[in-house]
């Protein structure tokens, strides 16, 4: 039984961490950190936790926390962890950071896209990008895990096998992603009001969304060289879920023909067949966000468009689970040698 | 490890049974019965079950099923189980019926409200009404459990302590209930289409809804005499959840004063304090369906309206869990001597 | 062609006033007042108005406004108009107030329920309660119209004929109302965020909602004596619409029998047959909010519950139209002698 | 005053035609055709029309109808109009066909994508593709107007100026479109049930959607040569609205540089500045479906992605208005010489 602390426990990702950890046999939550609700009972902030969580919210004292727990989850605004992290803390406790602070290796790129100065670039090198299915072994030995973004997890996993196997030209990759509104957080802002989001679809952050360089870096590793992609996020009128529809040109084989659907399927199976949390759907079945809701699954599939020589790849996940808290717990399981799926055997809820 | 069969496994309640039983340590599902989808893979009907359920749907052969399993759940249309049930079957297997066939003791009332002939009234007497918190002991020894309706579970539990303690006049009871659309089932009907339900609220079945006599019978037992209530269901644009808002006149005490809020709270605590799945909320907190979504909880609370001498009682549950499949599993746990909450420690999902 | 000014033009009710007035042949909007968005183009606040409204938002200078326009709509917080209104202003301009400041004749009741001091009680007496179908003649000669609340319009019109005709006992009246979220306004508050409202139903303001005394006062006039009602509002996951489900005991006739459905229908037709904006639905048809969306209609109907001696009355309207801006325009039409339905012949939009 | 008949008046597009035509000064609806609801009052099928439409539904007798009205709208399944249209009918009456029967000039392409035989290819040549802003002059003199599809109207108008001006390479065009559920029609099918659509996003018809060849044909005319595009439709949990996000590579100018944002904006303004129903939004504003709901507007905008040499174009419309019934009425206005915007000055409804 290990002890966990959460900094930022009252955001939606923090709330989901609590939901998942309550069902985890090896962990006890010892610290519900929330600057906005100090001393307020956690179950008053999230009434679903009534009679399940008796604790009150605490301030964000990471030094104290590092003494008391084995792992800290930081579900905090960009720049926060970078501004308080020290070698001393990392020597005492494992950290799984749900913010973007240590996801991008090139600090200049981080600072350009996030428009903030990085306060502790010295830890970037050692931070492990916690996309479990790709970096499983590295995660196991990490002190600091950079938990991937919601859009990025979905976008990368949907295209990874085809990039890795050289079946598509990564520079033609266009990612059109649709997200539920919990991805926008629990901040009280007019654009996130019910009446503004409901019955509405819109793109936002076009050409400027911060998950773009994260996708490019990780898929660049798979490609073996730097790549540039177009990524367009959209806000959809639903609580949870990300659907990524991804377009890329197939790379002709030496004989001048395009890869077949069977060859593409083989690539997906090569990387994902043994992965519990990635489901390659059967031919002709398009992923739907509702089929993974509440679970740690990513559902992926594809369709070859012979007329244009493109492949359309599709991936769906729950942005709060595999896109945030679920993957964070999966990383924790790797860090502490627990069964990787412990606490994550959540059956998707339908309807 | 017991074996379970589900007849009607592809309706929404059937699907929820599967979701819950997959997380239950003592049960294995052996039979996914579905007349509409015979031989089709269950996971093709409910893609959320992809890679979780490998079975295909089977026809509804209850005799064969009775040989093969320890418990049968029937999530079937009204009248179906009554038309096929036999003593022989009941001798072999426990049955938990999610339809209304054995909920009402007076067959004439059943036939009047349901407008169908009851084909096996001989089993009504022995059937136990499976409202676990009220009838726990009777359930343990039953062969046949009549699993309560979704509206009725919510309506009864919200008012039960006040009726039982004589604090309200049950004949003044007015129940205004709002239900999510999964309660209408998965049948392809125009009124259940997305565009008909979305952005819409309506009452239906006004004065004629079939859950009325079920509420009257059960609360009548609590009152110690026959009662008559007004029950009005409404369709709300959401997938899951029932909210019951209930109105009744307080009964004056001998000294001519009305019961106080403290006395009413005491009544709730008397009956529910030890109940894991009934949460009496703190003063001033109104139940919300979202706070119980996906879980087996019923949240209840009340407010005294001193100006009118009435009390407003409120209850919220997930119609597919405590209102159907969850309570069915709770009954199964009682029947087989498992821990009552086994498989049901589902943390409500928010948002 | 008259000139209109709107104070509070960037709230949802203000936005709806703009939408309706743009289609009104006799009015030109000269002033888009909005303290929050001074100098910002109105169409940047409400992009639906792009290329339809070129004006920018102005501060709320009511004295200046009174010089420039013929009518002022105030869609402002409670207490605001009362704090700035003067005899001088009323001598220059007609005012239609969408707040509650002049709705309640007894200033003590206003101050008790609204918990604010009334700054200009001297105008309460002359203010006309602008429920057009009931007070049409008085409105025509008013200087100051108190536009009714959204819940109140729906609640009153649904029960009015039965109270007026003495068919129900008004002190048994229980109103269970469900509202879309636009009724909560455009303020950036956590409880109004998409993820908090979506997939959720809850009651709020139980026994304390401010529309209660307004309903009691108006229905008291119809009854001919003071009455007390129970009113419970609920928040529903939809943008627009109020559904009121109302319960009351029928009053026995001299012969000891209850009023029949036909007699009740006659009462509705007596008062509403000639009313363009009140539609008494055909027998057995329950009002649905979606059927009136975007229009100025109130749909009403009822069902007699012979078992309990009660009648269930139901009414549906669009809270932003008949519940706010539409009724305000209807009042304006009365004030200026325009055709009462001018600008309001809006066909409900479905789906 | 002309007379209109609608065949298929009880589908969602038919219902929207009725809503719009009721507000049109020059038209009277004489025939509400609906095979499914013959002799049923129209207002019982669409309760929003209660007291607005007194007529009952009639069978689909096009010969009789041609004698009685000036214009027929056919909102019917694919292949229906083609199977009944004759020269005699076209000599008597104007026809605006909301189905796809006469949209595609190459009958082989029609038959390949729609998988039905075309029964009257002899009328394809003369049919005018009713995309008003592009084909205005041809529509004026037509007997038979092929009203464009919902996705196609949005997809074409969003990209048209850039294709026409040669600023983008049309063969790189990728269209990712998201539609509200009314586009799926009012048929009672499980995938269109509330609980299946709500809280869900999915792609469908990937590489095979029938609107693909329609887009290719029309944008091919603009390009001056045949083109091939990738079109992927998605179902979104909302009643109305289509958002098209379109991606294409910019064509380098002779000097080797890419077109600037200013040049691209100029192209949009060149074609759309005078168009009442196409709004080119201000820089940085992304179209949202909610801002055009209920209206005939298409909102378009774009963003240059300098990193990839692509432009992201975005367009939003109401699929039932500009995407169906509104455009049909716009075509009728052109056919009969009415003001083009008559009956269509609908202010978008928000929220």
Same domain, A236 and A89: no
The model's pLDDT over D232-274, given as tens digits with 9 standing for 90+, comes to 999 999 999 999 999 999 999 999 999 999 999 999 999 999 9
With respect to residue B267, please indicate whether it lies within any of the assigned structural domains: yes
Do C181 and C86 fall into the same domain?
no
Q: Which of A266, A278, A256, A273 shows the shortest CA–CA distance to A322?
A: A278
Query: What chains are in contact with D, requiring at least 3 Cβ pairs below 8 Å?
Result: A, B, C
Shortest Cα distance from D147 to chain C (angstroms)?
Answer: 21
Q: Say yes or no for a CB contact (<8 Å) between B303 and C240.
A: no
Instruction: Show contacts of B342-346: CB within 8 Å, 24+ apart.
Output: B342/B24, B342/B25, B342/B26, B343/B20, B343/B21, B343/B23, B343/B24, B343/B25, B343/B26, B343/B27, B344/B20, B344/B277, B344/B296, B345/A23, B346/B20, B346/B23, B346/B294, B346/B295, B346/B296, B346/B321
Residues A60 and A202 grouped into a single domain: no
Say which DSSP state A191 is in: G
Which one-letter DSSP state was computed for residue A122?
A: G
Q: What sign does the CA torsion over A259, A261, A264, A266 have?
A: negative
Three-state DSSP state, D190: helix
The residue of A41, A238, A277, A351 whose CB has the most chain B CBs within 10 angstroms, and thus the best one to mutate to test that interface, is A351
Chain D residue numbers touching B188 (CB-CB < 8 A):
188-190, 193
Q: Token pair for residue B271?
A: 């009956």
A271-305 burial, b at 16+ Cβ within 10 Å, e below that, comes to bbeebebbbbbeeebbbbbbbbbbbbbbbbbbbbb
**Are B197 and D194 in contact (CB < 8 Å)?**
yes
**Contact A194/C12, CB-based, under 8 Å?**
no
Q: Tell me the helix, strand and coil percentages in chain A, rounded to 5.
A: 40, 20, 40
Residues of chain C positioned with their CB less than 8 A from the CB of A12: 195
Tell me if C335 is assigned to some domain.
Answer: no
- The pLDDT assigned to B276 comes to 98
What are the φ/ψ torsions at residue B151 (nearest 5 degrees)?
-60, -40
Nearest to D228 among A241, A308, A314 (CB): A308
Closest CA to C177 of A26, B247, B292: B247
Q: Which chains have at least 3 CB atom pairs separated by less than 8 Å from chain C?
A: A, B, D
- DSSP secondary structure code for residue B317 in this structure: E
Q: Are residues B16 and B110 in the same domain?
A: yes
pLDDT band at A210 (very low <50, low <70, confident <90, very high): very high
Helix (H, G, I), strand (E, B) or coil at A311: strand
Nearest to C151 by CA among C80, C216, C195, C73: C216
Which residues of B are part of the catalytic machinery? Answer: 150
Nearest CA in chain A to D234: A245
CATH number of the domain encompassing residue A15: 3.40.50.720
C172 with C65, same domain? no
Are residues D277 and D182 both part of a single domain? Answer: yes
Confidence of residue A206 (pLDDT cuts 50, 70, 90): very high
Query: Does the distance separating the beta carbons of A188 and C186 come in below 8 Å?
Result: no
pLDDT grade for D288, boundaries at 50, 70 and 90: very high
Contact B336, B71 (CB under 8 A): yes
Peptide bond into A351 cis (omega under 30): yes
Q: Scanning the structure block, which residue is given the tokens 């999964």?
A: B182
What's the pLDDT at C271? 98
Burial of D309 (0-12, 13-18, 19+ CB in 10 A): middle
Supply the pLDDT for residue C75. Answer: 97
Residue C60 has pLDDT above 90, yes or no: no
pLDDT-derived band at A164 (thresholds 50, 70, 90) equals: very high
Instruction: Tell if the CB–CB gap between A195 and C188 is shorter than 8 Å.
Output: no
Per-residue pLDDT tens over the stretch B261-314: 999 999 999 999 999 999 999 999 999 999 999 999 999 999 999 999 999 999
Pairing relation of β-strands C310-317 and D202-203?
unpaired
Kindly state whether residues D234 and D160 are assigned to the same domain: yes
Hey, which residues does B202 pair with through a beta bridge?
A: B235, C288
Q: Helical H runs in C232-343?
A: 261-272, 326-336
Radius of gyration of chain C from Cα atoms?
A: 20
* pLDDT value for A60: 87
Residue of A nearest to B10 (CA): A350
Tokens of residue D242, six digits: 């289509």
Query: Using CA atoms, how far apart are residues C299 and B203, in angstroms rounded to an integer?
Result: 13
Among B12, B193, B197, beta carbon nearest to D188? B193
CA distances from D139 to D130, D155, D206, D336 (A): 6, 20, 32, 10
d(C-alpha D131, C-alpha B215), whole Å: 58
Residues D155, D121: one domain?
no
Q: Residue D252 has what pLDDT?
A: 95
A161 in the same domain as A57: no
The Cα–Cα gap between D274 and D296 comes to: 15
**B166 φψ region: left (φ > 0), alpha (ψ -120 to 50), beta (else):** left
Residue C215 lies in a domain: yes
Q: Is the peptide bond before B351 cis (omega within 30 degrees of 0)?
A: yes
- The answer to whether position B162 is within a domain reads yes
Q: What is the mean pLDDT of residues B34-62?
A: 97
For residue D149, what pLDDT is reported?
A: 97
Taking the CA of residue C87 and the nearest CA in chain D, the distance in Å comes to 35
Number of domains within chain A:
2
Assess if residue B343 is contained within a domain. Answer: no
Dihedral in degrees, nearest 10, Cα atoms C349, D2, D5, D10: 10
H-run or E-run covering B31: strand B27-33
Q: Which residues contact B96 (CB under 8 A, 6 or more apart)?
A: B71, B72, B73, B74, B130, B145, B147, B328, B331, B332, B335
Q: Is residue B213 within a helix (H) or strand (E), and if so which, with residue range?
A: helix B211-223
Quick check: C47 and D347 CB within 8 A? no
Q: What is the DSSP string of B244-311?
A: EEEEEEBPP-TTSPPPPHHHHHHHHHHHHTT-TTEEEPPTTPPPBGGGGTTSS-EEEEEEEETTTTEE
Closest-approach residue (CA) in chain A for D302:
A206
D122 C-beta neighbours (distance < 10 Å), count: 11
For residue D56, what is the DSSP state?
B
Distance from CA of B336 to the nearest CA of C (A): 35
- Compute φ and ψ for B350, nearest 5 degrees: -140, 135
Inter-chain contact C198–A198, Cβ cutoff 8 Å? yes
The rounded distance, in Å, linking the Cα atoms of C141 and C146 is 13
User: B273 in a domain, yes or no?
Assistant: yes
CA–CA separation, B222 vs B10, rounded Å? 35
Helix (H) or strand (E) holding D269, with range, is helix D261-272
How does pLDDT run across B83-120, given as a tens digit for each residue? Answer: 999 999 999 999 999 999 999 999 999 999 999 999 99
**Residue B201 C-alpha, separation from nearest chain C C-alpha, in angstroms:** 6
How far is it, in rounded angstroms, from Cα B112 to Cα D28?
48
Quote the tokens at residue D270. Answer: 């060149």
Per-residue pLDDT reduced to its tens digit, B157-172: 999 999 999 999 999 9
Catalytic residues of A: 150
Residues B189 and B272 both lie in one domain: yes
- Pure H helices in A35-86: 42-45, 62-68, 80-84
Residue A31: the pLDDT is: 97
Instruction: Tell whether C82 and C164 lie within a shared domain.
Output: no
Q: Is residue D330 part of a domain?
A: no
Residues A198 and A105 in one domain: no
| pLDDT reading at B60 higher than 90 | no
For residues D82-120, one letter each, b for 16 or more C-beta atoms within 10 angstroms of the residue's C-beta and e for the rest, the string is: bebbeeebbebbbbbbbbbbbbbeebeebeebbeeebeb
Query: What CATH number corresponds to the domain at position A307?
Result: 3.30.360.10
Flag whether C160 is in a domain. Answer: yes
| Summary mean pLDDT of chain B | 98
| pLDDT score of D57 | 98
- Of the residues B93, B126, B159, which one is the last residue of a structural domain? B126
> Considering only CB atoms, which chain C residues are within 8 Å of B316?
201-202
Domain residue limits at A34: 2-126
For the annotated catalytic residues of D, the residue numbers are: 150
Structure tokens at C155: 């609640």
pLDDT band at D60 (very low <50, low <70, confident <90, very high): confident
Task: Reply yes or no on whether the pLDDT at C181 is more than 90.
Answer: yes
Contact C289, C243 (CB under 8 A): yes
pLDDT tens for each residue of C122-155: 999 999 999 999 999 999 999 999 999 999 999 9
* Residues of chain B positioned with their CB less than 8 A from the CB of D289: none
- B199 contacts D181? CB cut-off 8 A: no
Q: What is the pLDDT of residues D178-189, one digit of tens each?
A: 999 999 999 999
CB-based contact B198 D196, cutoff 8 Å: no
> Can you tell me the mean pLDDT for C51-61?
96
């Amino acid at each position: 039984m290990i002890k966990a602390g959460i900094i930022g426990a009252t955001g939606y990702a923090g709330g989901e961490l609590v939901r998942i950890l309550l069902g985890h046999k090896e962990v006890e939550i010892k610290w519900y950190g929330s600057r906005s609700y100090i001393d307020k009972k956690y179950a008053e902030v999230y009434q679903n936790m009534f009679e399940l969580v008796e604790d009150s919210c605490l301030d964000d004292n990471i030094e104290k926390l590092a003494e008391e727990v084995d792992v800290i989850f930081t579900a905090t605004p960009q720049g926060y962890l970078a501004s308080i992290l020290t070698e001393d803390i990392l020597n005492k406790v494992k950290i799984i950071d749900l913010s973007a602070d240590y996801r991008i290796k090139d600090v200049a790129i981080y600072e350009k896209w996030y428009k903030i100065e990085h306060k502790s670039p010295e830890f970037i090198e050692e931070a492990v990008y916690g996309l479990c299915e790709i970096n499983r072994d590295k995660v196991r030995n990490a002190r600091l895990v950079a938990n991937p973004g919601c859009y990025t997890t979905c976008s990368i996993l949907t295209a990874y096998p085809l990039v890795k196997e050289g079946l598509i030209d990564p520079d033609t990759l266009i990612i059109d992603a649709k997200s539920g509104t919990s991805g926008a957080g629990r901040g009280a802002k007019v654009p996130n009001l019910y009446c503004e989001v409901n019955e509405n679809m819109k793109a936002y952050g076009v050409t400027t969304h911060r998950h773009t360089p994260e996708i490019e870096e990780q898929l660049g590793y798979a490609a073996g060289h730097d790549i540039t992609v177009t990524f367009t996020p959209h806000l959809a009128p639903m609580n949870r879920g990300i659907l990524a529809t991804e377009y890329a040109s197939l790379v002709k084989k030496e004989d001048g023909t395009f890869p077949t659907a069977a060859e593409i399927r083989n690539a997906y199976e090569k990387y994902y067949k043994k992965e519990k949390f990635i489901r390659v759907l059967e031919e002709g079945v398009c992923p739907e966000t509702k089929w993974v809701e509440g679970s740690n699954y990513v559902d992926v599939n594809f369709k070859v468009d012979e007329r244009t020589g493109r492949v359309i790849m599709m991936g769906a996940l729950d942005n709060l689970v595999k896109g945030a808290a679920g993957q964070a717990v999966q990383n924790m399981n790797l860090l502490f040698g627990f069964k990787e799926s412990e606490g994550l055997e959540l059956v998707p809820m339908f309807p």
